[in-house]
């Protein structure tokens, strides 16, 4: 199995990407090979520094870079030899089983839609993120930014996508799906939330437990937290800021340390025909390594086939 990494993506690329890839190659030795995609003269010297440790890594050349500030769709179409475009071509061609990048989030989304494309039946793919749980490991929240504006049917599908991920990748049996709302009672919230609630309630593919509130994010009420991309994005960034503030204050605790994006490495795009993960712009080698491990777990679990077969019906 091969897992590809955009060597040019992220604020500390290519150094952090190469270092993270070497870490992951070691951790996945015998299970998967890491494929680094980037500019030869930038990446090869860094690989050389790792000597024998980098021997297992495969390198694929891509001459262009989509910068963080560039317009996603425009850059993706104009830079067909960028590391992101090359990565998606390899993913689409089946040359790699997962593609990871800490680069331009928008370009990663555009690439997903243009190359491997949404699973037939999925209205809009979503970006998922992991939510640390007080009594357990992680839950999953989606969408966290791909779709600011949502329709009830999209929220319903986010519940299905998240439930499949929780089941097949996180190993949670019969994941509990909750709808983020401003009150527990049925009938609460906007017309969007009320309509989504009604759809989720009768969806036979999921175990819907009803509305949850902001205070339930970290407890055991729901394994899968459904919300629109605006709300999820705001919650995610607030949680990240809490970790940063605690780290600055040298307050440490095993639970709050799980707020660190490094712990999970990246956010999968769910509802596309393949496995793609978007990393945090400030990804360190440890974050890159964990993103690649997550890419391996996704590929190994067969999650994208599960999603395809669920939405075919």
> What residues contact 157, with CB distance under 8 A and at least 6 apart?
122, 123, 124, 126, 271, 311
Q: What is the dihedral of CA 67, 55, 23, 299, to 10 degrees?
A: 80
Do the strands 138-142 and 58-61 form a parallel or antiparallel pair, or are they unpaired? unpaired
Which range of residues in 1-9, 227-235, 268-276, 302-310 is near its own copies by CB under 8 A?
227-235
Q: Which stretch binds its own copies (CB under 8 A): 45-53, 119-127, 159-167, 208-216?
A: 208-216
Q: Does 253 bind its own copies (CB under 8 A)?
A: yes
| 280 token code pair | 């945090």
**Should residue 188 be labelled a site residue for its own copies when binding is judged by CB under 8 A?**
yes
- When asked if residue 107 is in the footprint of its own copies (CB under 8 A), the reply is no
Strand-strand pairing, 275-279 and 2-6: unpaired
**234 phi-psi bin (left φ>0, alpha ψ -120 to 50, beta other):** alpha
When asked if residue 138 is in the footprint of its own copies (CB under 8 A), the reply is no
Q: Which is nearer to its own copies, 45 or 214 (CB)?
A: 214
H-helix or E-strand spanning residue 79: none
The kind and range of the H/E element at 275 are strand 275-279
Please, what is the minimum distance in Å from the beta carbon of residue 107 to its own copies?
15
- Please answer whether residues 207 and 163 qualify as being in contact, where contact means their C-beta atoms are separated by less than 8 angstroms: yes
In whole angstroms, how close is the CB of 253 to its own copies at the nearest point? 6
CB of 224 to its own copies, least distance (A): 16
Half-sphere exposure of 190 (CA within 13 A, CB side): 11
Confirm or reject binding of residue 135 to its own copies (CB under 8 A).
Answer: no
Instruction: Find the binder of its own copies among 206, 236, 269, 287 (CB under 8 A).
Output: 236
Closest separation in Å from C-beta 131 to its own copies? 10
CA atoms 102, 104, 106, 108: torsion sign: negative
Residue of the chain from 114, 151, 230, 257 that contacts its own copies (CB under 8 A): 230
Is 1 a binding residue for its own copies by CB under 8 A? The answer is: no
229 lines the binding site for its own copies (CB under 8 A): yes
Q: Is 216 helix (H, G, I), strand (E, B) or coil?
A: helix
Q: Say whether residue 237 binds its own copies (CB under 8 A).
A: yes
Stretch that binds its own copies, among 157-165, 167-175, 216-224, 292-300 (CB under 8 A): 216-224
Q: Of the candidates 192, 190, 119, which has an alpha carbon nearest to the alpha carbon of residue 154?
A: 192
d(CA 24, CA 32) in angstroms, rounded, equals 9
Asked whether position 10 contacts its own copies by CB under 8 A, the answer is: no
Bridge partner list, 2: 33
Question: If binding is defined by CB under 8 A, does position 260 make contact with its own copies?
Answer: no
Residue 313: CB atoms within 10 A of its CB come to 6
Among 9, 159, 189, 285, binds its own copies (CB under 8 A): 189
Residue closer to its own copies (CB basis): 56 or 240: 240
Please report whether residue 74 would count as binding its own copies according to CB under 8 A.
Answer: no
Tell me the pairing of strands 176-180 and 266-270.
unpaired
Segment interacting with its own copies (CB under 8 A) among 10-18, 115-123, 141-149, 294-302:
141-149
The answer to whether residue 219 forms part of the interface with its own copies (CB under 8 A) is yes
Helix 285-301 × helix 15-27 angle, to 10°? 50
- In the complex, the smallest distance separating the C-beta of residue 118 from its own copies, rounded to whole angstroms, is 21
- Enumerate binding residues for its own copies (CB under 8 A): 134, 145, 148-149, 180-182, 188-191, 193, 213-219, 227, 229-231, 233-242, 244-245, 249, 251, 253, 255-256
């Amino acid at each position: 199995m091969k897992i590809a990494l955009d060597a040019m993506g992220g604020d500390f690329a290519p150094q952090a990407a190469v270092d993270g890839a070497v870490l992951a190659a070691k951790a996945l030795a015998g299970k998967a090979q890491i494929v680094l995609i980037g500019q030869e003269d930038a990446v090869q010297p860094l690989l050389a520094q790792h000597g024998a440790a980098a021997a297992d890594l495969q390198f694929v050349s891509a001459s262009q870079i989509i910068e963080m500030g560039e317009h996603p769709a425009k850059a993706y179409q104009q830079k067909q030899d960028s590391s992101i475009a090359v990565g998606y071509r390899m993913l689409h061609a089946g040359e790699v089983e997962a593609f990871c990048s800490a680069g331009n989030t928008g370009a990663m989304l555009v690439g997903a839609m243009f190359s491997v494309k949404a699973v037939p039946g999925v209205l809009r793919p979503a970006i998922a993120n992991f939510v640390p749980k007080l009594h357990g490991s992680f839950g999953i929240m989606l969408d966290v930014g791909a779709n600011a504006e949502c329709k009830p049917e999209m929220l319903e599908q986010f519940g299905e996508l998240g439930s499949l991920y929780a089941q097949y990748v996180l190993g949670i049996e019969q994941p509990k799906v909750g709808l983020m709302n401003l009150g527990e009672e049925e009938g609460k919230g906007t017309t969007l939330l009320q309509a989504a609630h009604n759809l989720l309630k009768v969806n036979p593919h999921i175990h819907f437990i009803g509305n949850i509130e902001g205070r339930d994010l970290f407890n055991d009420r729901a394994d899968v937290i459904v919300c629109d991309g605006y709300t999820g994005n705001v919650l995610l960034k607030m949680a990240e800021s809490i970790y940063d503030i605690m780290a600055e204050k040298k307050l440490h605790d095993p639970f709050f340390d799980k707020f660190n994006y490094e712990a999970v490495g990246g956010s999968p795009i769910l509802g596309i025909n393949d496995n793609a993960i978007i990393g945090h712009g400030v990804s360190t080698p440890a974050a890159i390594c964990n993103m690649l491990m997550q890419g391996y777990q996704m590929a190994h679990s067969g999650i994208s086939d599960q999603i395809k077969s669920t939405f075919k019906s």
